[in-house]
Amino acid sequence: MLSPDRVPDLAPLTHAAADYDIVRRAIAFISEHWRAQPEIDAIAEAAGVTPTELHHLFRRWAGLTPKAFLQAITLDHARALLRDSASVLDASFEVGLSGPGRLHDLFVTHEAMSPGEWKSGGAKLTIHYGFHASPFGTALIMATERGLAGLAFADGGEESKALADMRRRWPAATYVENVERTTVLTRRIFDPELWRADRPLRVVLIGTDWEVRVWDALLKVPMGRVTTYSDIAAKVCTPAAARAVGAAVGKNPIAFVVPCHRVIGKRGDLTGYHWGLTRKCAMLGWEAGRVGAA
């Protein structure tokens, strides 16, 4: 059992999850109508709240006004980020976690499972899991003795689907529901006040050698920046491998922490996301607010 002084306060995450339920409705409307730059009244009506409520909610959830959030997820903004990110990303790949932008970032230290452990489908591996509130809806947190191994998301009623999806990745592993254990990880992941370079989050990557190389490259993309599949390919192999990179990005088992949501199309389009394009927009907008607020 956790001692009383170690029990994390999850109330902020519970409130953030409730906010996200409204935010995702707003994002869906914004994503569909962004070219028309809809007014806050129209966005609020689509989200089912008043304009004032929506304004306060976005400020609380992301540190941005609805208008600023709208600007942060437009195609023009994404293209500007791509142009601005090139030299920053080069520096980040050279110097790793001490690179530009890391002031705002979740710090991660990682290792990979051996090829044999991956090929066995997780045999002899025990994975503890639990469902928790997060700023992006319900989060499925999965951990081994060596660290965080999986993070997936689910909208209401889709929890069993998310768990089944993750279990298919390591079918021979033993799964144990252990909410007490995963609660500590949840706050460590989603509470920016706990993002400290001297106490990095331990992550274990379970995949092929190629997938692990791609996921390692993703960890070097700073918060508030984006990159493309071809740029990641150039870092790990050759630009011609962009399609293979896309496949590895799509198989990333640790959403948000291994930031595959920061990979977009070379023209600035957001492209797909395993846990939903609305959630990808939410993550990019939320991070824009965190970077701007710091």
Q: Which residue numbers are catalytic?
A: 260
Beta carbons of 37 and 70 less than 8 angstroms apart:
yes
Calpha distance 129→110 (Å, rounded): 19
Distance of CA 221 to the CA centre of its chain: 12
3-state secondary structure of 150: strand
Beta carbons of 106 and 189 less than 8 angstroms apart:
yes
On the CB side of 5, CA atoms within 13 Å amount to 0
Give the tokens for residue 59.
Answer: 């400020």
Residues 6+ apart with CB under 8 A from 82: 226, 227, 228, 264, 266, 268
246: left (phi over 0), alpha (psi -120 to 50) or beta: alpha
Calpha distance 228→266 (Å, rounded): 6
Beta carbons of 153 and 255 less than 8 angstroms apart:
yes
Helices (H), 74-192: 75-95, 115-119, 159-167, 179-190
Calpha distance 210→113 (Å, rounded): 13
